[in-house]
Amino acid sequence: MTKYIFVTGGVVSSIGKGITSASLGRMLRNRGYTVAPVKLDPYINVDAGTMNPYQHGEVFVTDDGTETDLDLGHYERFIDVNCSSSSSITTGKVYRNVIEAERRGDYLGGTVQVIPHVTNEIKRLLIDAGAKEEADIVLAEIGGTVGDIESLPFLETIRQVRKDFGKENTLFVHVTLIPTVGPWNEIKTKPTQHSVINLRQIGISPDVLICRCEEDLGDDVKEKISLFCDVPMEAVIESRTAETIYEVPLMYEATGLGELVCDRLGLENRDANLGEWEEIVETIKNPKHSCRIGVVGKYTSNGDAYKSIAESLGHAGISSDCRVSIKWIESDVFEKDAAGKPGLAPEEALADLDGVVIAPGFGTRGIEGKIEALRYLRENGVPFLGICLGLQMAVIEFARNVCGITGAGSEEFETKENKVMDAVIHFIPDQTGITHKGGTMRLGSYPCHITSGTLAHEIYGESPIYERHRHRYEVNNDYRELLIKHGLHVSGVSPDYRLVEMIELQDHPFFIATQAHPEFKSRPNRPAPLFASFIEAVLKRKAKVMS
């Protein structure tokens, strides 16, 4: 029988449920169990696709084109699985399914209610997620914080799951905060006690408490938590802030959490076999080399907005035994401000960097800043990697400053008052007539044919390749031959040769861009090829400069 682990959070948001869930998945996967991770998100959006990166962080995209919460990125990177639409369950998706069923008459005239109709739909989706992956364990994280009204249907559902499948097949893990207060950093357990009380009021008693803390809890504190929260002392797990998130599974394993989970669910406690993970962490903490990479983007003030790019740079650093330090640069710093004051010169903002990633984004803000940064990178031989909008901006910069098309731009930035003279980037023809924004872009995994003799072919070593996409604008084929004539190499195209997928410059230390999002497939033990080669080129150039 499939086992179910449910991870909830209390006291404060952003407490680390996603990393805890991913770490549990890693520990179980290393024991040879098949894990199906699921995120239960209480927001009414059908998916994360239309959500503001400043508020919600990055939108993670799966192979099948589902736009999801960034925690699915953690699941994929830690557990080394490919998530799908069944891995993401939102209030919006659940209610849409229930309303559609009601309209079809599936409920035979019954009054449609949260219990049982909404909770039954959530259960159906959970069971289907496990069945689809033939999983030994469904590992489900409930978004939000216990006490939020939005989370109640999901919490009621997992209460019912225990009733349906039994205590021996379900495990409730509650992630909570143990703060310290006062001049002597006195440890306080009261917030955790109240969080557990909130859970009990809806019929859920946690089996394991993951206690986020900055101080050693000690046996006396654990005993107090155990007594007041009715959790065995060995199930009160201390969770200190780690030097790297990839150390968390090792820390949990050291507490005996893996063995505890297996015993509690009646699973064989096999050898955890975390040797490769230990090597990854050792390289992260004690690398031989270092480099400094700039990420120029539109949402850099939120560290989660480009989470997968940051992690992919770190993964590439692991493969090169290198610590990658990131300098986040908001692209509009290169532009004039509202008062007309000139922005930073690229020479000033980028001079201390070993390489630069131009990140994705939507909308007009900061676009000219990206183009100005790209001019500097191209002219000064600074290693460059462009992602999605980064490719589009590289094409525009090349068209303006090399091909002499001074009015080059993108249809995305066109308004009634400001027409683009030469739309070298334009709306995908297949998208014409689409009015809804959610789920309508070019989403998910698509094939790309790589041109032999190019840097892209050297990096991937095969053709076709498959990368995930999330965009609705493409290189305008009316300008493709002119761009190629002036030295822009089209190194990757769609199978029908209609869409430009990758571009590069061959007289440059490293200048390559892709319409895809290779960061979504990167793993700590298997970095995305473009990112790995980018860091290799950065280190090669750095060594040459220093010599």
CATH number at residue 133: 3.40.50.300
Q: Would you state the pLDDT for residue 261? A: 97
Nearest to 29 by CA among 365, 274, 322: 274
Q: Single out the residue in 234, 259, 279 at which a domain terminates.
A: 279
Which residues are within 8 A (CB) of 438 and not within 5 positions of it... i.e. 6 or more apart? 45, 46, 47, 49, 50, 67
Identify whether residues 168 and 142 lie together within a single domain: yes
Rounded-to-integer distance, Cα 538 and Cα 500, Å:
26
Give one DSSP letter per residue of 435-462, joined into a string.
---TT-SEEEEEEEEEPTTSHHHHHH-S
Q: Catalytic residues, which ones? A: 388, 517, 519
Whether residue 162 sits in one domain with residue 86: yes
Nearest in space to 23 (alpha carbons), one of 272, 312, 314, 191: 272
CATH number at residue 412: 3.40.50.880
Shared-domain flag, residues 210 and 332: no
Among 317, 326, 322, CA closest to 293: 326
Q: Do residues 359 and 261 both lie within one domain?
A: no
What per-residue confidence (pLDDT) applies to 437? 47
Q: Are residues 49 and 124 in the same domain?
A: yes
Find the domain containing 258 and state its range.
3-279
Nearest residue to 402 (alpha-carbon basis) of 373, 379, 382, 368: 379
Q: Is 143 exposed, middle or buried (0-12, 13-18, 19+ CB in 10 A)?
A: buried
Residues 295 and 266 in one domain: no
* DSSP designation for 521: G
Q: What is the pLDDT of residue 334?
A: 84
Q: 240 — phi, psi (to 5°)?
A: -85, 160
Shared domain for 221 and 92, answered yes or no, is yes
Do 294 and 243 reside in the same domain of the chain? Answer: no
pLDDT at 354: 96
Residues in the chain where the model's pLDDT stays below 70 = 338, 429-440
Write b or e for each residue in 180-217: b if 16 or more Cβ atoms lie within 10 A of its Cβ, otherwise e: eeeeeeebebeebeebbebbeeeebebbbbbbbbeeeb
pLDDT on residue 435: 47
Q: What mean pLDDT, rounded, does the chain reach? A: 92
Return the HEC string of 236-280. EEEEECCCCHHHHHHHHHHHCHHHHHHHHHCCCCCCCCCHHHHHH
**Separation CA 514–CA 504 (nearest Å):** 9
Instruction: Find, among 279, 475, 463, the residue nearest to 395 by Cα.
Output: 475
Domain co-membership, 250 together with 296: no
**Whole-angstrom Cα distance, residue 18 to residue 70?**
9
pTM reported for the whole predicted model: 0.93
| Same structural domain, 315 and 258 | no
Q: Is residue 90 within 8 Å of 43, Cβ to Cβ?
A: yes
Q: What is the pLDDT of residue 436?
A: 46
Last residue of some domain: 227, 249, 279? 279
* 274 and 305 both lie in a single domain: no
Q: Does one domain contain both 253 and 300? A: no
CB 302 within 8 A of CB 56: no
Amino acid at 238: E
Alpha carbons 115 and 121: distance in angstroms, whole number: 10
How far apart CA 24 and CA 127 sit, in angstroms, is 19
Please count the structural domains in the chain.
2
Domain boundary among 279, 314, 343: 279
CB contact set of 508 (below 8 Å; sequence gap of 6+): 378, 381, 384
